[in-house]
Amino acid sequence: MFLQTAWRKVAFGLYGLTQFTKSGFQEHSKKFIEEDMITRMEGKNCLVTGANSGIGFATAEGLASRGATVYMVCRNKERGEDALSKIQSTTGNPNVHLEVCDLSSIKEVKSFASKFSAEDKPLHVLVNNAGVLENKRVTTPEGLELNFAVNVAATYAITELMMPLLEKTAPDARVITVSSGGMYSTPLTRDLQFSENNFDGTLQYARNKRVQVALTEQWAETYKNKGVGFYSMHPGWADTPGVAKSLPSFSERLSEKLRTSAEGADTVIWLALQPKEKLVSGAFYFDRAEAPKHLLFAGTAKSHANIGSIVETLQSLCNIPAKV
């Protein structure tokens, strides 16, 4: 077990330094097809969580620049309004809207989803981007570990609650979940809230991101006849405010090598624009291509068999009935 854990860290580090940095993006971009990104999105409704900064902001801006109606879900009203103003100004698109919701609260997520759903707007694209990496163990008022609450519980709840609106735009509807390369370093675990001693925020974040990838597989199977595509993706190592705050030493050490937020968001936008027949529901994407979910000899693949029991736990924690 120790050797395998050590190997995962080494393999992840080497893979990351060669693939996830700015130079990796520049190398991979040589194969990008320019025509893939010229699709217009007038008449399409997109919901982006964590849209006031970093990859979420770049995603919202990219979708708005292509004519989409964008709903930015942000925790902080003031920062959300500032981001909204910037996007409307740079894109010239007035159809960008702010939705205030603290995704660490399942109660708030449900309230937001209920209010949004009441307007009965069809939803074409849901981007689960909001994320947090808190290095100290923090428990929300609802009793959830904070990283898990935002990265997993909120992602699960908002996706399930938006399904009726997504089904309205089938077969074009899609859910894109922004994961992280950190998930390569850990298998799926049923200890969702890190009950063991010596809390490690970086490890918990990686575990959360592994759950997101496995959830995407599960959703693709559960809803395969609903006309909704589910995709997870990895943005690479980007220089975002979140990274600078949560991983200051990593951010400083690799500052010159990190991708921009726009480069990190590139594959999110690409996934939103592609014809469904070009994509594989349940797959994991990186730099506009399907990518492996497990590193060689890392021993993480079999752990995905636990996702069924994890979904049952999420249904219970979020009080969301199982769908048939």
195 occurs within a structural domain: yes
245 occurs within a structural domain: yes
Mean pLDDT calculated for residue range 168-177: 98
Q: Residue 2: pLDDT band by 50, 70, 90 thresholds?
A: low
19 occurs within a structural domain: no
For the question of residue 156 being annotated catalytic, the response is no
14 occurs within a structural domain: no
**Structure confidence at residue 128 (pLDDT):** 98
pLDDT score of 7 more than 70: no
120 occurs within a structural domain: yes
Domain that holds residue 227: 40-318
User: 């428990």: which residue's tokens?
Assistant: 139
Q: Transcribe 128-162 into DSSP letters.
A: E------SS--B-TTS-BHHHIIIIIIHHHHHHHH
Higher per-residue confidence, 211 vs 15: 211
Domain total for the chain? 1
Q: Specify the CATH number for the domain of residue 302.
A: 3.40.50.720
pLDDT score of 248 more than 90: no
23 occurs within a structural domain: no
pLDDT digits 0-9 by tens, 250-266: 878 887 899 999 999 99
Average pLDDT, rounded, for the chain: 94
Catalytic member of 205, 223, 231, 285: 205
11 occurs within a structural domain: no
Global confidence as pTM: 0.96
Range from 19-28, 34-43, 67-76, 234-243 carrying the lowest mean pLDDT: 234-243
Mean pLDDT calculated for residue range 238-259: 85
221 occurs within a structural domain: yes
pLDDT score of 202 more than 60: yes
